[in-house]
Amino acid sequence: MLRTLVGASALVMAACATTSVVRPVAPLISSQEITLETMMAMNAMCGAEARFDSVGEADVRMVDGMGTGGFPVDSEEPEAQAWFDYSLALHHAFYHRDTVAAMRKAVAADPECARCAWGLAWVLGPTLNTAPDEEEKAEALAAAERAKTLVSQDDAMAAELIDAIIARYQVSEESTEPAFGRAMLEIAERYPDEPEIAVLAAHALLIPVRADDLSGLEIALETLEDVLRRRPNDTGAIHYYIHGTEFAERPGDALGYARRLGDLAPAASHLVHMPAHTYFRVGDYHDAGEANAGAIDADMKWVTTGGDASAAWPLYYAHNLAFGLAGALMSGDAQLALKYADHATMKWPEGAPMAQRSYPVARTYVALGRHAPDRALAIPESAEADARMSVYRHYARGEALIIKGDLRAAAAEARAISKIRMDGRTTEQTLARAVIDGRIAMAKGRYTKAANLFGEAAELQEAELAESWDPPLWWYPVRRSHAAAKLLAGDYAAAEAEAISALDDWADDPLSMWVAGQAMRRQGKVREGDAMLAKARGLWYGDFDSISAEAI
């Protein structure tokens, strides 16, 4: 990871990003320097902000940089081929409504194109993130059946694709998604010179994984690996390979591809974002923060040039923001985390639909509590009651008050967290209360009590939020706080063990590594401890020398 410090004179070039460069009030964990990588990420969000008022009507258009997709269609009309290919590129980039709109243009360009009609049936179907409603399924089946009336007798591949997708949408005991995935794989194996079919087959095989059916996972990965050996810049294959390797718990296998994906498809927001899935799982947290800032910029460029800004789009935008914020927090980059907080309240100000606002904005309160305590204490009560917003508001205020040394007021915030009535998501609420109580105990020097509080919270987090990596529903591994309490209590062996345990789930977390390194040194394992601390220093974007165990 490149890290280049930016001098003060360069800050004036940062456009609106400079508004977020602040100096927090005596934080326990602070950021004193700003890097070129951080500034570029902040400026990407500034570029998005400049387009907030420019979103128009959906009118899908072809733009460069959307990635790869498509295969030859049975049409002499160039427009049919162009829109077919572009639709499949959009499909791989998860622009769901725009994908359908583009494929409709392919069909309109040549109504007699059988492969185009098949394409419409395909893009109306499910993806890893979406499922069609009954109306869409009916339209998809009708498109597939029309394709069957159009297909030429000598187009065997198209005929097989059409038969498979008709079976996908027909109601029968055999019409399951795993069965469709296997049928697509068989077609891909018969036509190895059309790698796009293999990419589509792999996607179909991965969809059942969302329903905990892993039967197609390994063959999907093998299929994608074969495609990538032949076509290493295939953006659809890279996208699905990132998902597949995270499902298979071997995300590092996709790292080389992930590092290229954003440059291969710079206009496709979701593909710019996707490397963050790999980065976060392998411990490249700051890279995840940077990637999602770029995705946010690509998002706004897309919806201001005719992309569909309805339906799933706001959720993807919020997903990008939450993921980027998580990366900034985990890497200790206060300036980037605060920029995400600023961006969230500009994108979803007070009065915006709470269904869209709650998830991304509430999480940004953590950045204020950790890095800008005065701002955290100024967070207003929301005019519209929302339990998540309330939990995170009180949590941020608790963090801020501990920084300011007002432990009595911080304890009142902890009690307020427990009084909030929540319909579900109570694990976040319990963790928020436990972390504030634990930090208060740490500040009072009651390390055994803190260790007990953090230990119970860590067990809860690992039991109930273990599958929430998208990004995690709680912002950091509480086990590292348990380790820090053990360190301060003088139980260095336990501190090392707990910190290493935290690293099992949160690879290369710099603060867990800091605790492990300190504990190793105190046990006389100086060389090991120094190596651990040196690695942690290289990953931390705050002031490494000011890290305090009480705040971990």
Give the CATH number for residue 535: 1.25.40
In a domain? residue 534: yes
**Cβ atoms of residues 484 and 457 within 8 Å:** no
pLDDT at 467: 78
Terminal alpha carbon distance of the chain:
24
DSSP H or E segment with residue 332 = none
What pLDDT sits at residue 435?
98
Q: Is residue 491 part of a domain?
A: yes
Q: Is 194 exposed, middle or buried (0-12, 13-18, 19+ CB in 10 A)?
A: middle
For 333, left (φ over 0), alpha (ψ -120 to 50), or beta? beta
Whether 153 maps to a domain, the answer reads no
Q: What is the pLDDT of residues 471-512, one digit of tens each?
A: 999 999 999 999 999 999 999 999 999 999 999 999 999 999
- pTM reported for the whole predicted model: 0.93
Contact assessment for residue 143 and residue 124, using Cβ atoms and an 8 Å cutoff: yes
Whether 381 is covered by a domain: the verdict is no
Range(s) of the domain holding residue 533: 476-552
Domain tally, the chain: 1
Confirm whether 546 is domain-assigned. yes
- All residue ranges of the chain with pLDDT < 50 are 8-15, 17-31
200-246 pLDDT, tens digit per residue, is 999 999 999 999 999 999 999 999 999 999 999 999 999 999 999 99
Give the pLDDT confidence of 11-66 residue by residue, as tens digits: 434 446 444 443 333 344 444 568 899 999 999 999 999 999 888 888 999 999 99
The answer to whether residue 514 sits within a structural domain is yes
321 domain residue, yes or no: no
On whether residue 542 sits in a domain, the answer given is: yes
d(CA 92, CA 85): 11
Give the C-alpha separation, 403 to 296, whole Å.
Answer: 32
Q: Give CA–CA dist 302/458, Å, rounded.
A: 40
* CA distances to 2, 82, 92, 183 from 106, in Å: 43, 7, 17, 25
Bin 424: left if φ > 0, else alpha if -120 < ψ < 50, else beta: left
The two counts, helices (H) then strands (E), for the chain are 26, 0
pLDDT at 4: 60
